[in-house]
Amino acid sequence: MNTQPRRVENIATDRGVIPMYATGVVEQPWGSYSRSDHEIWATLFRRQRELLPGRACAAFLANQQALAMSEDAIPRFDALNRHLRAATGWELVGVEGLLPEEVFFDHLAHRRFPVTWWIRRADQLDYIAEPDLFHDLFGHVPLLMNPVFADYMQAYGQGGLRAQREFGDEALLNLTRLYWYTVEFGLIREPAGLRIYGAGIVSSKGESIYCLQSSAPNRIGFDLERVMRTRYRIDSYQKTYFVIDGFEQLFEATRQDFAPIYPRVAGARAVPAGSVLAHDHVINRGSGEGWPEGTDA
């Protein structure tokens, strides 16, 4: 790459040191990707496409095909946008990396999905702490072709903007957990069995296998307030996955007014990432084998 991401500073937060980037929208510098950048895309693309049939949900697999994403080259945002606009009215915008929440919410509320323009290095194939082009494009974009999921993402952005205006930090934390356990690490029940829809899972080789095959994690039926109370892991596979019955369930959950929900959630205790509660709809109770010590985010 000839161009470098414009990292502004590193800030220390309760989730560790997080890089802060310039927050504007940038043109995808497609002509500046090196041969090695395209090879990294190809390697990751091939690896995940081999793994995902029978693991990723039907909508993810079909829509990735419909978007004509392939291993041949890093996709052009422009080309993907023609499909996306026609299917759901969403569009991709290039960004430098993680965005402050208010900027991120504003994009989603206007049906724009921010995609990091740069791709990870060859020594980061298995793990990268922050979103890069592979995670954002491969992981997130296919489901934006699904009308119900697309509406959920917009509703989430609108909810985030409102939470910032009216409800404060606790509400934002609840929304971050909701995003984490659905958009990033969600599972869905399909006729043939549990399948992945979370972008953080489909873009990870190890977790694509672990989340479905391991007996260690809990798999629990989705419940909005339960999810909003649940802490999560940022440094390991999840201890708990929440399972939806369909994307309608997500959209329905976010259609209700969150105003009375936030105080209820704030009044209840936060749930550690690996805990199972009395009223949970438990699909599999995890063995807890190999779970890391240390505190949840």
Give me the residues that bind ligand HBI (CB under 6 A), please.
Answer: 95, 98-99, 101, 104, 114, 131, 176, 179
Distance of closest approach, residue 200 Cβ to ligand HBI, in angstroms = 9
Q: Which stretch binds Fe ion (CB under 5 A): 31-39, 155-163, 199-207, 270-278?
A: 199-207
| Beta-carbon-side half-sphere exposure of residue 128 (alpha carbons within 13 Å) | 20
Q: Which does 179 bind (CB under 5 to 8 A by kind): Fe ion, ligand HBI, none?
A: ligand HBI
Q: Which is nearer to Fe ion, 134 or 167 (CB)?
A: 134
Lookup: tokens for 93: 């915008």
Distance of closest approach, residue 13 Cβ to ligand HBI, in angstroms = 11
Q: Which is nearer to Fe ion, 97 or 286 (CB)?
A: 97
Positive or negative torsion for Cα 91, 94, 97, 103: negative
DSSP H helices in the chain: 35-51, 58-66, 77-88, 101-109, 133, 147-166, 169-179, 199-202, 205-213, 224-229, 247-255, 261-267
Q: Which is nearer to ligand HBI, 105 or 286 (CB)?
A: 105
Q: Which does 95 bind (CB under 5 to 8 A by kind): Fe ion, ligand HBI, none?
A: ligand HBI
Nearest residue relative to Fe ion (C-beta)? 199
Q: How far is CA 63 from CA 72, 88, 142, 197, in A?
A: 18, 12, 5, 12
Q: Which does 101 bind (CB under 5 to 8 A by kind): ligand HBI, Fe ion, none?
A: ligand HBI
Q: Which is nearer to ligand HBI, 104 or 237 (CB)?
A: 104
Backbone angles phi, psi at 241, to 5 degrees: -115, 140
Backbone angles phi, psi at 12, to 5 degrees: -85, 125
Q: Which is nearer to ligand HBI, 98 or 150 (CB)?
A: 98
Q: Which is nearer to ligand HBI, 95 or 227 (CB)?
A: 95
DSSP H helices in 91-238: 101-109, 133, 147-166, 169-179, 199-202, 205-213, 224-229
C-alpha–C-alpha distance, residues 260 and 251, integer Å: 18
Beta-bridge mates of residue 193: 190
C-alpha–C-alpha distance, residues 163 and 159, integer Å: 6
Distance of closest approach, residue 95 Cβ to ligand HBI, in angstroms = 5
Q: Which is nearer to ligand HBI, 75 or 114 (CB)?
A: 114
Return the residue matching tokens 């390991």.
236
Distance of closest approach, residue 100 Cβ to ligand HBI, in angstroms = 7
Q: Which does 114 bind (CB under 5 to 8 A by kind): ligand HBI, Fe ion, none?
A: ligand HBI
Distance of closest approach, residue 282 Cβ to ligand HBI, in angstroms = 26
Distance of closest approach, residue 81 Cβ to ligand HBI, in angstroms = 17
DSSP state of 56: B
Q: Which does 225 bind (CB under 5 to 8 A by kind): ligand HBI, Fe ion, none?
A: none
User: Helix and strand tally (H, E) in the chain?
Assistant: 12, 9
Q: Which stretch binds Fe ion (CB under 5 A): 65-73, 198-206, 214-222, 235-243?
A: 198-206
CB 258 within 8 A of CB 163: yes
Q: Which does 134 bind (CB under 5 to 8 A by kind): Fe ion, ligand HBI, none?
A: none
Residues that bind Fe ion (CB under 5 A): 199
